[in-house]
Amino acid sequence: MDYILAFLAILTPVVFIHELGHYWVARKSGVVVEVFSVGFGPELFSRVDRHGTRWRIAALPLGGYVKMRGDENAASVPTAGASVVTGSFAAASVWARMAIVAAGPAANFIFGMMLFAGVYMGVGKAFIPPTIGEVIDGSAAQEAGLETGDRVMFVDGLKIDDFNTLRTIVFENPGRPLLFEVDRFDVRTSLTVTPKTVYSEQLKVDFGQLGVRSAEGEFRRLGLSESVVHATTDTVQMTYMMVRGLTRLVTGQANEGEIGGPVRIAEFSADAARQGLVGFLIFMALISINLGLVNLIPIPALDGGHLLFFVIEAVIGRPLPEAFQAVLMRGGIALLLASMVCVTVYDIMRQFS
């Protein structure tokens, strides 16, 4: 039960913010939003506001949607005649439609940044330089030639600004050779380091271990402007690392432990909740950023698929045929459902392996 509650406590606000982004820009663009739903299925509670939007909470809180005028279904599959309805999504200009669709992922990125900034202002942020404080005997670091005092500048071309970034990259690359560029007494040195593969019983995944301790850092609370700067930087950095992870997944280079679905997210949600409010908020920020990024993938039925259609429309001067869009949309939905089933089955099998 803790897994389910923690999962819903993180997912519901993140989905709400995503849909709120669509809703807000749609309203600003003159598009009438008829339904704003958190969850799917039977309605548990609803109210209609003065703009005519029906705000509802549904029985299955595993997502949400906004239904705009002219849509005959929640998936926004194009329907004939929608373009002649005043205030409909289809009647808006192509640029307005692009803005409405992009607003959902954008809201998730902004929400993630706000959570980071709130934690940095309210609690603080650890500043640990990417400097090796100690090398453990027999470790992957020692075998590769890393030494105490080395400052890691780049790993596989990625700039390393703090020790947590280094830790994350090593964690995600068990048994995979990584090119380290380090500063050793003001001399740049390149080393190939292969993190040892260690299995986590708690996470049920393999992870990389370097075998070093960090140099001393500091922990301090930040002011508003500094929090925003660091939150923005961290969001960009997290997004880049997630893109790398998605690229490995698509190209078949991902480790088995990197693949997970709702069950695994629920496990991590419960772990984050046990760490206290800060851990919970940071994990929520990561989920929000991840949701924003995944929705930008150009698969029909995702926001990225809609954006791709609108870019094509802007280039050729007319929308793609409605029947063609509808087929692609339904194909995209089928692909997403199949993927969800596969990762969920994998999650469940992993529990019993």
Q: What is the pLDDT of residue 74?
A: 43
Domain span including residue 137? 126-220
Domain boundary among 190, 220, 250: 220
pLDDT for 75: 44
Angle at 206 between CA 204 and CA 212, to 5 degrees: 125
Q: Are residues 55 and 117 in the same domain?
A: yes
Q: Does the annotation mark 19 as catalytic?
A: yes
Whether residues 9 and 114 fall in one domain = yes
pLDDT digits (tens, 9 = 90+) for 65-104: 999 988 754 445 544 444 457 888 888 899 999 999 999 9
Burial class (CB in 10 A: 0-12, 13-18, 19+), 25: buried
Contact 21, 111 (CB under 8 A): no
Taking only Cα atoms into account, the Rg of the chain, rounded to an integer number of angstroms, comes to 23
- Give the residue from 220, 240, 257 where a domain finishes: 220
Q: What does the pLDDT read at residue 145?
A: 93
Q: How remote is the C-alpha of 332 from its chain's centroid?
A: 19
Q: Are both 73 and 85 inside the same structural domain? A: yes
Q: Are residues 138 and 74 in the same domain?
A: no
Counted domains in the chain: 2
Claim to verify: residue 173 and residue 115 sit in the same structural domain = no
pLDDT of residue 350: 59
Phi, psi (degrees; rounded to nearest 5) at 243: -60, -45
In a domain, 241, yes or no: no
- HEC-encoded secondary structure of the chain: CHHHHHHHHHHHHHHHHHHHHHHHHHHHCCCCEEEEEEEEEEEEEEEECCCCCEEEEEEEEEEEEEEECCCCCCCCCCCCCHHHCCCCCCCCCHHHHHHHHHHHHHHHHHHHHHHHHHHHHHCCEEECCCEEEEECCCCHHHHHCCCCCCEEEEECCEECCCHHHHHHHHHCCCCCCEEEEEEECCEEEEEEECCEEEEECCCCEEEEECCEEECCCEEECCCHHHHHHHHHHHHHHHHHHHHHHHHHHHCCCCCHHHCCCHHHHHHHHHHHHHCCHHHHHHHHHHHHHHHHHHHCCCCCCCHHHHHHHHHHHHHHCCCCCHHHHHHHHHHHHHHHHHHHHHHHHHHHHHHHC
> Do 112 and 135 lie in a common domain?
no
Confidence (pLDDT) at 81 = 47
96 in the same domain as 51? yes
Q: Which of these is catalytic: 19, 72, 134, 226?
A: 19
The whole-number pLDDT of residue 262 equals: 63
Within-domain flag for 323: yes
Please report whether residue 87 resides in a domain: yes
Q: Are residues 149 and 43 in the same domain?
A: no
In this prediction the pTM is: 0.81
Let me know if residue 311 belongs to a domain: yes
Distance CA 342, CA 353 (A): 16
- Distance (Å, whole) CA 201 – CA 199: 6
- Type of residue numbered 43: E
205 is a domain residue: yes
Query: How does pLDDT run across 325-343, given as a tens digit for each residue?
Result: 888 888 877 877 777 666 6
Q: What is the CATH number of the domain that holds 173?
A: 2.30.42.10
Q: What is the pLDDT of residue 144?
A: 92
Is position 216 within any domain?
Answer: yes
Could you say which of 170, 192, 220 is where a domain stops? Answer: 220
Residues 313/36, Cβ–Cβ less than 8 Å: no
Residue 249 lies in a domain: no
Are residue 18 and residue 106 in the same domain, yes or no? yes
pLDDT, residue 202, reads 63
In a domain, 327, yes or no: yes
Both 180 and 203 in one domain: the answer is: yes
330 in the same domain as 313: yes
Contacts (Cβ under 8 Å, ≥6 apart) of 16: 38, 64
Residues 294 and 200 in one domain: no
Cβ atoms within 10 A of the Cβ of 206, count? 17
Per-residue model confidence (pLDDT) at position 82: 47
Can you list the residues of the chain whose pLDDT is less than 50? Answer: 73-75, 78-83
Amino acid sitting at position 121:
M
Which of these, 174, 203, 204, 178, lies nearest to 191 by C-alpha position?
Answer: 178
